[in-house]
A and B are shown apart, each in its own frame.
Chain A
Amino acid sequence: MDENEPITIEITRRTVIETGTTALLLTALPPAALAAGPSDGNQPPPPSATVTLQINDRSHQLTLDPRTTLLDALREHLALTGSKKGCDHGQCGACTVLIDGRRINSCLTLAVMHDGQSVTTIEGLAEGETLHPLQAAFVEHDGFQCGYCTSGQICSAVGMLAESRSGMPSYVTEDLTHPVAELTDAEIRERMSGNICRCAAYPNIVAAIKQAAGTPT
């Protein structure tokens, strides 16, 4: 796809559900209107910047207002609306994606800062029709209610399991000099504290992650 051209989407009921009406409306707005935060008054838009991102193993070249966060680039410029905007201030974790395998809040970073880097979003976790083990575990354990935080929870859990396997301690790790033998409920809860679930599906989220931790990912 050439992202310098406007995204054209055939509007059916299904695409409206999949991409959300807001995304469709915003594609019709001038690019400056997509910049995050309060409006900028009468200032002219800054010179645009070009960035190449490897997203879910596909290369995308985007020309963006430098104010565009990585989250807005994904949602509004690439129609990858799986990553959610909750608080837009790094407090809720709904926007969590993986950059070169590490989990971050995509709302608190600029897309232009990630030129050449590899981004994995919730859309990139499944292999064809086969769900990622964490996705399958969330379904099996009913690790959600409304589902708004779920893509962030799952991306965060993917990063968390990789951290844990590489020996990263947490605040509740008793002895920092020893690798963590087991991801207890307390370890999982501490390591996932950057992902808020307003429905409080936490017990099922912990159960899903615990199950997936025992499965190679």
Chain B
Amino acid sequence: MKAFTYQRADSTAHAAAAAAKPGARFIAGGTNLLDLMKLQVETPSELVDINRLPLDKIEETPDGGLRVGALVRNSDLAADSRVRQRYGVLSRALLAGASAQLRNKATTGGNLLQRTRCYYFYDVTKPCNKRNPGSGCAALAGFNRIHAILGTSDHCIATHPSDMAVAMRALDAKVETVNGEGEPRVIPIAEFHRLPGKTPEIETSLKPGEIITAVTLPPPPPGVHVYRKVRDRASYAFALVSVAAIVDSTRGRIRSARLAFGGLALKPWREPQAEEKLVDASADTATFGAAANAVLDGARGFGGNDFKIPLTRRTLHSVLAETTRT
């Protein structure tokens, strides 16, 4: 691990100002950052510890939603009775992620900011445009079983590893931030994570020193909530494909549907055209197939991950069948 100086922030303004300096990073749960620092993938010169800031509350919002503080631990968010009753897709997604030990540490803000688990991003001896811009992408012609099939570029085919963010994408969550000057900003989750394009090293729309203070959840949309995660082992593994679904249907007729996908792209993926195919449609295999076609329009495999295209189709069929059973 490279040497760094450590300081504990006593206010959000102090944290944002301290982290605006080049080389400075926030540390909250630290489960991803310290892992990467041990490998020298991350080499901050200064750590600003934000764990003692008062950002650990879950509050009701006037419109009937919830405001989740950035430091609410993943386990506490998953176990919150309001989340379990009204945002089942989010509770289930959180419980699908990592292990209990990691969920006890990992925070809401940190989960959004976790880095890809691409093998080549982790291996400092290999080219990676995300870690070392301009060095190339070793995954394109390498082992790419876990890599993206949507929204890729010639510069990067990594995926975003979060489960939580996929559910939040389906829920149209909003990310609240404050910058070093104390100015607040609200970023819709759809605009929070960025696709790789030519600059895969830029992963989010956050500016230097801008700190996530909370994530707000709009009132829960009606319907059955499901989070389905397909992975290489039954627990404690990243998603090959995951689907967050909120589907409102009655007697085989779908009224509305929201679908977000994990494991397919460098951001939680949502395809409005797929959801439109489901509105006021019969809950049958033809409808599900049309939705899958819309999601996978433009999907591209890179050899090792070709299987994700049929796997996504089948997982979506299964989830839509489950959510429209009644």
Provide the main secondary structure of the chain A interface: loop
Contact B100 A159 (CB under 8 A): yes
The interface residues of chain A lying within 8 Å CB-to-CB of B38 are 36-38, 88-89
Contact B3 A40 (CB under 8 A): yes
Within the complex, the shortest CB–CB distance from A99 to chain B, in Å, comes to: 8
Contact B95 A171 (CB under 8 A): yes
Contact B37 A193 (CB under 8 A): no
**Assembled-state Cα–Cα distance A191/B96 (Å):** 11
Contact A45 B35 (CB under 8 A): no
Instruction: Tell me if A77 is interfacial: C-beta within 8 Å of chain B.
Output: no
Contact B6 A49 (CB under 8 A): yes
Nearest A residue to B94 via CB reads: A171
Within the complex, the shortest CB–CB distance from B221 to chain A, in Å, comes to: 17
Contact A193 B3 (CB under 8 A): no
**Assembled-state Cα–Cα distance A138/B34 (Å):** 32
With A104-B104, A169-B79 already in contact, the answer to whether A193 and B235 are too (CB < 8 A) is yes
Contact B104 A102 (CB under 8 A): yes
Chain A count of residues within 8 A CB distance of the other chain: 49
Instruction: Tell me if B67 is interfacial: C-beta within 8 Å of chain A.
Output: no
The interface residues of chain B lying within 8 Å CB-to-CB of A159 are 100-101, 104
The interface residues of chain B lying within 8 Å CB-to-CB of A170 are 95
**Assembled-state Cα–Cα distance A193/B1 (Å):** 28
The interface residues of chain B lying within 8 Å CB-to-CB of A40 are 1-3
Nearest B residue to A68 via CB reads: B1
Residues 24-56 of B at the A interface (beta carbon under 8 Å): 27, 30-31, 34-35, 37-40, 47, 49, 51
The interface residues of chain A lying within 8 Å CB-to-CB of B75 are 102, 163, 168
With A169-B78, A169-B79 already in contact, the answer to whether A103 and B84 are too (CB < 8 A) is no
Within the complex, the shortest CB–CB distance from A118 to chain B, in Å, comes to: 14
**Assembled-state Cα–Cα distance A109/B107 (Å):** 13
Contact B3 A46 (CB under 8 A): yes
Residues 100-126 of A at the B interface (beta carbon under 8 Å): 102-105, 108-110, 112-113, 115
